[in-house]
Amino acid sequence: MKRKWTVSLLSISFVLMILGFTTIAGATELRFLAVGYPSVLVTYYNQNVVPEFERLHGVKVILENTNWDSRMDKILISIAGGVPYDIVSTGFYSVYEEGSQDLLAPLDHYLSRWELTNRFPAPVWEALKWKGHVYAVPQNHDLRAIAYNKNLFAQVGLDPNQPPQSWEELILATRRLTRMEGDRLTVRGFARSSSVGGRAQELFWFMRMLGVPEVDVETYTSNLDKPEALEALRALAEIAEAARYRNSEMAGGFALERVAMQRQHPGAFVTAIQQNPGIADSYGLFAPRRDPGSPPVTHDFINGLAILNASRNKDLAWKFITTLYEEDVLLEAQVISGFMAGRMDMMNRMMSAIHPKIGLFYDMFNYLQTSVVPPPRNTSQQVLGNLIQQVYNGELSPANALDQAHHLWSMLLEDWRATIK
């Protein structure tokens, strides 16, 4: 009899175990593909956000963190395998590249009912549109303006409270701020981008100060052949020359006052403050403009969150996204990750939690513009950036560089248009 009960108990335990597994496997799964998250952010979500969401909605949340190189392969494999991710991290290019391929679901009907939609600046939602539809919610802004050192401005007789208001003033200030001691460059007036892609992005930025985007998305044509592109590249070359870019600067960069002006985003600001807390006292920020009568422009690259079109749980996915934007959750996520989502009503809390001068970047949102780079974006940016470097080196004229880039971009844009759904 004892053996019979033992067998029965084992049988019941086995059945309960199977039922338990069946319950878990049969429960709705919400799959979230995060990209490039710091491990501490993944831990925070898994320990402090996911359990309560699972309890409230009877769902199993699976948060997977990957890198940008693997992201698209994982998305396509998940769709082909019939188990698509529901939520995915997006890059600055996702809205137009993936929105044009119907990979992402439009979010307009969710945003029209979301109480937080108007807490983000209107230009942000415009930047996240493709053909009239919003495809992502902003999670991190690589919002670029020009940081400048007020102390270095004052040392050379420039008004520390009046940054340059035109390209001509920017060039003159760069020349005046650049200092040589013998054959050593002790202060660079303006630090250009150190990356090939960054040099291309600086051209996009300056073109937009002239009111011309790098690509006409209605006709899928390159604007690198426009007079404004030539004017922008010539100005950048003159700034590079004024900053003596061929000379190596002393170690320390902007944080240690070896650079007077530099393109910076919120993450770069935080890094500079960590390297030298005292730099905050002389830290200034401005949105550059072509001339005093033209609008200032900041250049934004927005990473966000989107819902895949193939998701079978779109409403639940949206609920999880909104959970991540609850004020306390979002604040903690931003503090531990360095992200800046751009909720304007949280500016004061961000200033208290991170640094008072992070508020300067919130002032830049109204001037933001974003870029459309022809796919494959690495090719189009790298080729253009290398051509720009040849201009800086005096190996190629600005007109010749832009002509070569325009020819390539025209072919890439034609290829892209052929794939649009």
Mean of pLDDT values over 169-176: 98
Residue 21 pLDDT grade (very low, low, confident, very high; cuts 50, 70, 90): very low
Per-residue pLDDT of 233-264, as tens digits, reads 999 999 999 999 999 888 899 999 999 999 99
- Whether the predicted pLDDT of 353 surpasses 90: yes
Amino acid at position 273, single letter = I
Per-residue pLDDT of 78-132, as tens digits, reads 999 999 999 999 999 999 999 999 999 999 999 999 999 999 999 999 999 999 9
How far is the C-alpha of 136 from the C-alpha of 307, rounded, in Å? 8
Parse the chain into domains and list their residue ranges: 2-142+301-369, 144-300+370-419
Q: What is the CA radius of gyration of the chain?
A: 25
Query: Cβ(139)–Cβ(304) under 8 Å?
Result: yes
Which residues have C-beta within 8 Å of that of residue 191, sequence separation ≥ 6? 243, 249, 253, 254, 259, 261, 262, 263
Using alpha carbons only, give the angle 192, 195, 198 rounded to the nearest 5 degrees.
70
How many Cβ atoms sit within 10 Å of the Cβ of residue 380? Answer: 23
Which CATH number, 3.40.50.10300, 3.40.50.720, 3.40.50.1370, 3.40.190.10, labels domain 2-142+301-369? Answer: 3.40.190.10
Please give the model's pTM, rounded to 2 decimal places. Answer: 0.91
**Hey, what are 289's tokens?**
């403009």
- Whether the predicted pLDDT of 296 surpasses 60: yes
Query: Cβ(203)–Cβ(229) under 8 Å?
Result: yes
372 burial level (CB within 10 Å; 0-12, 13-18, 19+): buried
**Hey, what are 119's tokens?**
């807490």
Short-list 379, 383, 346, 380, CA closest to 365: 346
Short-list 274, 138, 262, CA closest to 194: 262
Question: What is the pLDDT, as a whole number, of residue 248?
Answer: 85
Per-residue pLDDT of 265-291, as tens digits, reads 999 999 999 999 999 999 999 999 999
SS3 category, 411:
helix
- Whether the predicted pLDDT of 13 surpasses 70: no
H helices present in 98-166, as ranges: 108-111, 122-127, 150-155
How many Cβ atoms sit within 10 Å of the Cβ of residue 235? Answer: 20
How far is the C-alpha of 324 from the C-alpha of 45, rounded, in Å? 9
- Whether the predicted pLDDT of 25 surpasses 80: no
Fold of 144-300+370-419: D-Maltodextrin-Binding Protein; domain 2 (3.40.190)
Number of helical (H) and strand (E) elements in the chain, helices listed first: 18, 14
Q: How many residues does the chain have?
A: 421
How far is the C-alpha of 151 from the C-alpha of 260, rounded, in Å? 9
Domain 144-300+370-419 in the same topology as domain 2-142+301-369: yes
